[in-house]
Amino acid sequence: MQYEDYKVEDFLFDEFFVRWVKNPGPETDHFWKLWIEKNQDKIQTINEAREIINSIKYKNRYKPSEDEYNETLEHILKQHTSWFQLDSYKKNDRLTSMVRYAAVFLTIISFSALMIYLNVENTREETNQTVELIEKQNPNGQKSTIKLEDGTIVKLNAGSKLSYQKVFASHERRVTLAGEAFFDVKRDKNRPFIVETKDLTTIVLGTSFNIKSYQEDEKSSVSVASGKVKVMKSQDENIPGSQYFLLNRNQMMTYNLSDNSITKKESISDEFFLWKDNIIHFDHSDFNNIISTLQKWYGVEFIINSNNAFAGQFNAKYNNESLDLVLEGLKGEYNFEYKIDGEKVYIY
């Protein structure tokens, strides 16, 4: 039977399809995304099958032993021996065929249902184990470096939070980020590394990249330092055929929440990653963006007591410099005076 003729139940027992749903890889992902694009009329069927597979936690990696398989099948056949005692129907070949097909179909369904039950029980035992969730949060003025259990290194910027499992799942490595972080991901082709933010989902196998997605910002961005990443809107992650972007080294994608637009830069410099080396880089930054950055970087609060419009964009680079030195540079550009009083900075 061709995939075009499949119904929901056919997809449920198709190993190649189940593998794509539960543990997508380059081979399955490429095939099914392409197939769905060419068969838009099957999207509802595909989604129903995916929902069922995920709801029962179907595991294509579960394989019953040979003894389990034979014992289960023998039990089913004994229960339905009468299905195959068809001598009384020999005079009606059509009826014989119909009964035989029905018997085979019911046997397959019964056996498959039992195998799924075993899978669910197997899954339930695993999910009953406590999953330890770790949350690292940096206040403003503090950065940190985190090493995950798979060997991935994460540099977490100030005012940012990273949530992740102490031990990753067997089919994926998923973390949640609010803020900014630079990821140097340990390669694992069997377990994609997935970063969720409020707007975007980023999927990689092993590469280095930067994500900036603060809750208060209208824009979120993904910048690639090495390798390749796949980025899509978070709401589209589980929808087959959804639009996604592939970013290579020195490429960047920005999502604007205000107008739901996405832009892609084909070439960026390494200056987008300088923050992880304690270097502040302002590249055509406006005043509000600068103040927001400095508040996180130095852990201070700015209080603006000025009617100045603070128009214009600012370009500068500071290598681990004091706040006072940075403000002296801004003072000349935006024509203001300032006063630092503990954790408060007054602009007037």
Q: How far apart are CA 250 and CA 328, in angstroms?
A: 32
Q: How far apart are CA 121 and CA 84, in angstroms?
A: 31
Backbone torsions φ then ψ of 204, nearest 5 degrees: -140, 165
Residues with Cβ within 8 Å of residue 146, at least 6 apart in sequence? 136, 153, 154, 155, 156, 162
- The reply to whether domains 133-270 and 278-347 share a CATH topology is no
Tens of pLDDT along 139-157?
Answer: 999 999 999 999 999 999 9
| pLDDT computed for residue 87 by the predictor | 47
| pLDDT computed for residue 292 by the predictor | 92
Q: How far apart are CA 34 and CA 20, in angstroms?
A: 13
Residues with Cβ within 8 Å of residue 294, at least 6 apart in sequence? 300, 302, 323, 326, 345
pTM > 0.75: yes or no: no
Buried b (16+ CB within 10 A) or exposed e, 181-198: bbbbbbebeebbbbbbbe
Q: Which residues of the chain carry a pLDDT beneath 70?
A: 1, 55-131, 241
| pLDDT computed for residue 198 by the predictor | 92
Residue 105's identity, in one-letter code, is F
| pLDDT computed for residue 86 by the predictor | 46
Q: Confirm or reject CATH 3.10.310.40 for domain 133-270, answering yes or no.
A: no
Tokens of 69: 């398989």
Kindly list the domain boundaries of the chain, sorted by start residue.
3-55, 66-127, 133-270, 278-347
Do you know the residue count of the chain? 348
| pLDDT computed for residue 64 by the predictor | 52
CATH topology for the 278-347 domain: Phage tail protein beta-alpha-beta fold (3.55.50)
Residue 204's identity, in one-letter code, is V
| pLDDT computed for residue 348 by the predictor | 92
The H or E element containing residue 324 is helix 323-334
